[in-house]
Structure 1
Amino acid sequence: MADNPIEKQHQHEREQERERLRAEEEKDLEVESHRGARPLEGYAGGHTTWTGAQDDKAAARVHAGDADASWEASERQARLEPEPRGADEDED
């Protein structure tokens, strides 16, 4: 079946992909085996993982600039620019 060099290469690539997927599944299972707070899943228009004690006003205030910051970071990355230094780094 795998006498053809191209077929051997394709088979090797498929095996590598299966191994990568197995490793990702292992990571997922490890994370899911622990209960606790989950990180935000990125910017979305729907509700996030805020608890009942955190009202929508607080969420809107804390995450008001997330979309713009994410867009700017994506633009910098696309231009291969370094990340800007934080305010606490400038004090050194």
Structure 2
Amino acid sequence: MADRILEKQHEHEREQERERLRKLEQQDLEVESKRGARPLEGFAGGHTTWTGDQDDQAAARVHAGDADAAREASERQARLEPAEPQSEDEDDSGLRRE
């Protein structure tokens, strides 16, 4: 009798955890469906000597395809497909090597 009660309690707890994870996943999907600039968390109020035009040209050249590559990697991961290196400069994760 006590075993049955404990088993019901454990099943109820597992179902609550699954529901919590479903809600978190739904929130993640909603955030990811909206494209656009996102603030850097943790750095909003930090002091920096960095200026806006430092390395802009180099950054634009080096990181030109990062957003598309990251989106493709995320979609590939969601489909559980292995990464395919597209050039000599990329490793197996699909990210550029420096």
TM-score of the pair, normalised by structure 2: 0.40
